[in-house]
Chains A and B, each alone.
Chain A
Amino acid sequence: MSTYSYNEDALRNLKIEDTSILDRLVDFESARAAHLKKERGKIDKRMDLKEAIATFVDDGDVLSDAGFAYVRTSHQAYFEIMRQGKKDLQVIGAPNTNQSYMINYGTVRYSHNSYIGAEMRGTDRNYSRQLKNGKVGILSEWSHGGVALALKAAQLGAPGLFSKQMLGSDIIKYNPYVKVMQNPLRDDPDPVAFIPAIYPDITIIHAHAADKYGNAFIYGPVVNDTALAIATRKLIITAEEIIPESSFRHNGRKGVVIPFFYADAVVELPFGAVPGNMPGYYYWSRQWWEKTMRLASPDEERFIDHFNYWVMESKDQFDFVEKLGGAKWIAEARRQTKSAEGDNEDIDFSYKEYNINDDPGIYY
């Protein structure tokens, strides 16, 4: 492992004494070594979710959140990580919304924060409580653009990038990795932020379709996922369906393809992004997120009961979909995402906000 010169102010402000906990994220040599060891051949990498998580997620790994908070994120794979009792993960991502509920179970122990919460569903009172109770430690603070550039640097094969983001802000005082420097090409004072390339240990990307070798097709916002696929040491592709390789060669599809050689495992996982939004396939369950953020989050016991019911007591994504309302929920979620995307403009987009006194039984 290489040695690093971290931002001293940030180490002091974050009270980090043993800096070895920070190294993995920026350790290019070990990432490259991991990439060089990956299978090159076109072999069938299919396995079930349980095996993929058991094999490729290790305690203490740096896990990246993928997709965009609740858009095309492999929630059901995260839930399986929780069920398998994995411990002490670090989470990075832009956003990193989904670390929160994993903290309560000890699955996640450390954050590299860029965005916590669920936008209009409210601030994340669970994360706030876990932080104050010492259940989660902050290793670095970032802006979305900072994380995006750090991943982009890795994708482009650069040790880092210079940018104008985060300068002058308090974020830099809580980021051991980002350093403010003078622009080397200019004589007049010109501060720039050096953002190093970052390398998560494990990334799980939920795709619309994949072949058995790991070619993966995505439609809708890609966000940071093409960069993540390249930067990460281990990559699990979960997909709504498995399709033949030939359909990648002769496709008229609109979207992005992640090539097969990055993938370590391919998991057929219909409804893998539930309770999030899978573009073209199903809209996110607004009422589920409302119940989670507004009703469960403020109270530790309610929060645990809620996630025990939805996650720990579900054996797979089909159990979860049944709890949301089964086939009726699927049909409505499909109508809604098609409406949102402009493929079906005639349906009513309205719904009732979640209310405990009027639990609908179907979480639209």
Chain B
Amino acid sequence: MKQQGPANLLEMLTYIIAVQIRDHSIVYVGTGLPMVAAILARKTHAPNITLVYESGGQDPIPGDMPWSVGCPLTWRKSPVLMEMAYSFGQSFNGYVDMAFLGFAQIDMYGNVNTHQIGKDLLNPTVRLTGSGGNNDLSSLTENMVLVGLQTPERFPERVDFITSVGHLDGGNSRREAGLPGNGPIAVLSQWGVYDFEPASKRMRVKSLTPGVNFDIAQQSTGFELLRPEGEIPASPMIPDDILNILRSEVDPRGVFTTMPS
């Protein structure tokens, strides 16, 4: 479907993800908006990034939007096509700078749940996908960025199941559990950009989508958000020329960037 008019929330979010990506970096992407954002970054400010996909593709040439991480578009003319264990090893060994993944729930310490809604694994309210590569990347990657829609249910005080450790119980607990890397450095939602306070490792507002204030963000969160010092900056809005690239070149059929009706 051809989209027109001002940017919708998913398009705004895509841009916020894309600007996190530095040129000349190795970026690991999951299905959905992260994939769209990485391709947008490559077509705009970061043409020299190397994309890594879980099913084995590395550095594919851009094509249409992949429908899954196993899609041929994730290994289109890739110089190398590796086995599954390789790309996780690559993260552990320090050859992935940043990874982007989604979540069903995320808590105040950036722990992620993609397993289930409900506490009982043997009898959940809803069983979800389970880990896939989510745990591996959260465990091993230097800098994790987590992306998803923000509601109080999706941002609970404690996730129903820790699929992937973020900052675990805060403080130094991630490292004490034996995990390398910085853990999650950012959480991106339609309402804002969040980071983690350096000592407690609790989620903190970094910037908010224009028109959104702290109270709105707090009302969409199931735990107490930390406030940064001073005035909260507005997240960058997607400029018209980049919105145009997103709509015409990156996701022309709005597969991932059309708001559900």
A, B: real partners = yes
B179/A221 in contact, CB under 8 A = no
A119/B68 in contact, CB under 8 A = yes
Q: How many residues of B contact A (CB 8 A)?
A: 59
Partner of B174, one of A94, A144, A166, A168: A168
Q: For residue B247, give the distance in angstroms from its CB to the closest CB of chain A.
A: 15
Docked pose: A141 CA to B122 CA in angstroms? 11
Report A-chain residues with C-beta under 8 Å of the C-beta of B56.
Answer: 221-223
B131/A143 in contact, CB under 8 A = yes
Partner of A123, one of B54, B126, B253: B126
B127/A131 in contact, CB under 8 A = yes
The answer to whether residues A220 and B180 also contact, given A123-B128, A148-B85, A349-B64 and a CB cut-off of 8 A, is no
| Nearest-CB residue, chain A, relative to B112 | A169
* Residue interface bits A117-139, CB-to-B below 8 A is 1, else 0: 11110011101100110000010
* Residue interface bits A327-364, CB-to-B below 8 A is 1, else 0: 00000000001011110010001100000000000000
B122/A15 in contact, CB under 8 A = yes
Let me know if B161 is at the binding interface, CB within 8 A. Answer: yes
A167/B132 in contact, CB under 8 A = no
Number of A-B contacts (CB under 8 A): 197
Partner of B179, one of A69, A123, A167: A167
Q: How many residues of A contact B (CB 8 A)?
A: 70
The answer to whether residues A221 and B31 also contact, given A115-B132, A169-B135, A339-B64 and a CB cut-off of 8 A, is no
Report B-chain residues with C-beta under 8 Å of the C-beta of A279.
Answer: 72
The answer to whether residues A165 and B132 also contact, given A69-B70, A221-B70, A279-B72 and a CB cut-off of 8 A, is no
Let me know if B177 is at the binding interface, CB within 8 A. Answer: yes
A-side residues, CB < 8 A to B, are 13-15, 68-71, 94-95, 113-120, 123-125, 127-128, 131-132, 138, 141-146, 148-149, 151-152, 163-171, 174, 180, 189-193, 220-224, 226-227, 277, 279, 283, 286, 337, 339-342, 345, 349-350
- 22 residue pairs A–B, Cβ–Cβ below 8 Å: A71-B55, A114-B132, A115-B131, A116-B127, A116-B130, A120-B31, A120-B67, A131-B122, A144-B54, A145-B84, A145-B139, A164-B179, A168-B162, A169-B164, A169-B165, A170-B115, A221-B70, A221-B75, A223-B84, A337-B72, A339-B64, A342-B76
